Amino acid sequence: MASNEKSIAELKRGNERVLKSLADLKRLAERLPAVDRLPKTVAATIPGSVSDAQKGLDARLIDAVKRGDLETVRDALQSGADKNARDFLGRTAMICAVLARQEEVVRLLVMENADPNLKDLNGWTVITNLVIFNPPYSKKYQAMLDSLEFLLSNGAKVNSEDAEHKTELDYAREYENTEAIRLLEKYGAKSNPSP
């Protein structure tokens, strides 16, 4: 009998902890902005906030972008995928295309008005990712320069700072990427004086 009473007491304490945790979560949720006021790509991370169909379309887009499957990218966009969809690391479709070195996909996303100025979880834009992950000795260096010029001439902004207060130009200088430095400066890039 004593062990049953002890088990019941332990269950009650466990239930009390769960109820307290739920109350804490409810208080936290009340302080969050309404889901309908959040950007769709942020709201998608909140359970029940974006339809499973939308999440599926966005995931299909990101997967096709990473594989360079231009036809599936077009189809996903025409079916309603968010052109600024993000992967689990906060990278936009355009950033994923740059990292996968899919130049044609980058151009398609620009033509579809995807935003080249959105940042990933590191605080890096598509331009920052291009500069960091395509050093002068890489095999696709010329393709990177072509993509860089294309993005800059189509609305990608420079002088975006990351969490370390570094700009795209700071990274280009760090990697001694003279051609990228030249292009960035041509479009008004400045170094942060105190990175």
pLDDT in tens, 165-193: 999 999 999 999 999 999 999 999 987 76
149: number of Cβ within 10 Å: 15
1: number of Cβ within 10 Å: 5
Mean pLDDT of the chain: 84
End-to-end CA distance of the chain: 68
Mean pLDDT, residues 86-107 taken together: 95
Structure tokens at 49: 């906030």
> Would you state the pLDDT for residue 38?
46
Sign of the dihedral through C-alpha 42, 45, 46, 47: positive
> Would you state the pLDDT for residue 138?
80
Report domain extents, the chain: 1-31, 39-115, 116-195
Burial of 12 per CB tally in 10 Å (0-12, 13-18, 19+):
exposed
Burial of 159 per CB tally in 10 Å (0-12, 13-18, 19+):
middle
Burial of 69 per CB tally in 10 Å (0-12, 13-18, 19+):
middle
Considering only residues 1 and 67, tell me which one the structure prediction assigns the higher pLDDT: 67
User: Contact 145/183 with Cβ under 8 angstroms?
Assistant: yes
CA separation for the pair 76, 59 (Å, rounded): 9
pLDDT in tens, 28-75: 555 554 444 445 545 555 555 568 888 999 999 999 999 999 999 999
CA separation for the pair 114, 143 (Å, rounded): 20
Is a pLDDT exceeding 80 seen at residue 27? no
Let me know if domain 39-115 sits in CATH 1.25.40.20.
yes
Decide if 39-115 and 116-195 have a common fold: yes
**What DSSP state is assigned to residue 33?**
P
CA separation for the pair 43, 70 (Å, rounded): 27
Looking at the structure, give the CATH architecture of the domain made up of residues 116-195.
Answer: Alpha Horseshoe (1.25)
CA separation for the pair 171, 158 (Å, rounded): 12
